[in-house]
Structure 1
Amino acid sequence: MYNAEIPKDIELPSSRKLIKSTAIAAVSAVVVLVTCVMPAEYAIDPTGMGKVLGLTKMGEIKKSLDMEEVAIAQPTQQVHQSSENLNSTIPLGSTNGMAMPAIAKETISIELKPNQSTEVKLTMLKGASVAFDWKSSGGGLNYDTHGDKVGAPKTFYHGYGKGKNETTQQGVLKAAFDGKHGWFWRNRTENPVTVTLLVEGQFSEMKKVF
């Protein structure tokens, strides 16, 4: 037997060809990163191709899921207590020299498409209380009950309670500070879900944030 002939130097790729191949591979990797990976993973689409290919929407969903998981993982500072009687007496008083608003009662219904979210907030003074009752029809919802303090930094978070795939909740929400207090819901099912919220107590305004 004879050993195979050793290829001659002329048959090996030149340094110029190797550099050219490496450059082409690097450029291709950057193109894939910008047009596919960034839109699909981080919802960043500098070229617009991610939107055309439907990858940006995927990235937005992933980003939303990550934010929701972070919110759910955060410890709550104060948890509301359930109440079977929503018409229980709520104490009147004043805070910071401002009189508590008169007892008000409002209800709101919102339909959420799959992966859609909404938030409803009440304007409340510190120490004010509201009895609430919310229910969903069509499926369960992820929720986060929290408050936004007047003048607080963006990183501020004060939670009253949170959960996943819930269809109903009742209780009393007592404001820990002057500000906006309320509920965030997200529909993670594949069907439309309608949430209906009833509140009664010491608040000056109910507002659907989005």
Structure 2
Amino acid sequence: MTANLQPTRPMPRGRLLVGTVGALVAAILIVCGGILPAEYNVDPLGVGKLTGIVRLWAPEEKTVSTRARSMAYAREYDVPYRQDVVEIPLGGFLTGNDNSELEYKVRMKQGATLTFAWEVTGTSEPRDVHFDQHGHTTPKPGETMSVASYKQAFGLKQQGAITAPFDGIEGWQFSNSSENPVVVKLRLSGFYELIQGGQPGNEASVVANVPAAQARPNAPFASKAAP
């Protein structure tokens, strides 16, 4: 018996066009609503945010070393955290070097960090005050001293941070070349120790956390320098 085969009729052109357009629209919706938010964090339709698909996206990861020059970015210290304000009065240059300039430093362990900010009152001329920011070890007689020089300049203010390259003392040499007394107000915070008066780094016996008039009680100009 011979099968009665009916010829397949082609899909009408209108239905084919509608089907093609529908498939294209569906593909666009899938790409814009699913693939772009999930893979590229691009959400033109807002569907990714609405459905939470956008949370599937994550940027390419790059591992960053947590050490630089053998120093860790994250550290812990045995020295307690502290904050201090040191008001340093300096006499005019006519009062002599012992009064118009001094060195003030703090003691730090290698790798310890402090932040600082200082500003001069008593003059508006930047070239009146010179500073030498540096640090050095305190070796025993016969031993070599290690020195780190950071900045030498004229100016009335500075702010930043210091990370000690060795066990030693870190700070500044301040010099006032004007005729009038000035005060350097130094703010410190971090992991360091104050140096007792008369010791290297604080030979002028500056007292921290008191007004300028009391910071150098033996200096005759101190009260005049206080703002």
The TM-score normalised by the length of structure 1 is: 0.50
Higher strand share: 1
The TM-score normalised by the length of structure 2 is: 0.46
